[in-house]
C-alpha cells in the first residue's frame, strides 16, 4: 500500500512583505537588550542589598554584645558589692 505524496497547499507558502524581516530583527534585538538589562539589574540589586543586610546584621550584633557585656558587668559589680 503506497502513501500519497505530500504536497503543500497554496496557503502554506509564505511571502514576506518588504521590511517584515527587518521588523522581526529589530524585535529580536529589543528582546535581547531587555534580557541583558534584566540580568544586569538583578546583579546590581543583589550587590546593593547584600552589603546593606551585612551592615544591619553587624549593627544588631554589636548592640547585642554591648547589652550582654553591660549585663555581665553589672553582675560582676553586684558580686563585688556583697
Residue pLDDT, tens place only, 13-49 = 566 677 789 999 999 999 999 999 999 999 999 999 9
Q: Which of 9-13, 46-50, 57-61 has the lowest mean pLDDT?
A: 9-13
Q: Is residue 69 part of a domain?
A: yes
Residue 16 belongs to what H/E stretch? Answer: none
Domain limits for position 56: 20-81
pLDDT in tens, 39-57: 999 999 999 999 999 999 9
> Total domain count for the chain?
1
Which contiguous run of DSSP H or E holds residue 30? helix 20-81
Position 12 in a domain: no
Residue 68 lies in a domain: yes
Residue 34 lies in a domain: yes
Is position 44 within any domain? yes
Cα(51)–Cα(43) distance, rounded to whole angstroms? Answer: 13
In a domain, residue 10? The reply is no
13 found inside a domain = no
Amino acid at each position: 500500500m503506497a502513501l500519497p505524496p505530500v504536497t503543500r497547499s497554496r496557503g502554506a507558502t509564505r511571502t514576506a512583505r518588504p521590511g517584515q524581516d527587518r521588523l522581526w530583527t529589530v524585535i529580536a534585538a529589543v528582546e535581547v537588550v531587555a534580557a541583558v538589562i534584566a540580568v544586569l539589574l538583578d546583579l546590581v540589586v543583589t550587590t546593593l542589598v547584600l552589603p546593606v543586610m551585612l551592615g544591619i546584621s553587624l549593627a544588631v550584633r554589636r548592640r547585642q554584645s554591648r547589652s550582654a557585656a553591660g549585663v555581665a558587668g553589672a553582675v560582676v559589680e553586684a558580686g563585688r558589692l556583697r
